[in-house]
Amino acid sequence: MTLIHGFTAAAHFYDDLHFPRGFRKSGDFNIAEAELLTQVGKRLLMLEQAICSPENQVEKQFVKMCTTQLEGQTKVELLWKKYIKLTRHKSFHCVNGSIFVQSAVI
């Protein structure tokens, strides 16, 4: 059992739907963030969705952060919040304009 920042390492995490070229090439994450997300992202997803139970205090704090919508405190929690923001929150853009045509008065 390998721990990375207090989280049990699971299989590598890839999100081909939102980041088809990978986390590194997306431009949204720096190299360290992309590597960390690849290493522990699968475990974070499983903890968030309650597929598995937390095994230590760090994982319990992460689950609490996910369920109560608290702000992240650790590097991993902040990274997960960033990932969630990029993948689950769709931005809304409204295009509102009018065409003003000046007519000539004869």
Mean pLDDT by 10 residues, the chain (106 residues): 78 87 87 92 91 91 88 89 84 62 61
Query: pTM of the prediction?
Result: 0.76
Pick the closest to residue 3 from 81, 45, 57 (CA basis): 57
Give the Cα separation of 23 and 37 in Å (integer). Answer: 8
Give the Cα separation of 81 and 96 in Å (integer). Answer: 31
Distances (CA, A) of 100 to 51, 94, 96, 97: 56, 19, 13, 9
Average pLDDT, the chain: 83
pLDDT computed for residue 10 by the predictor: 76
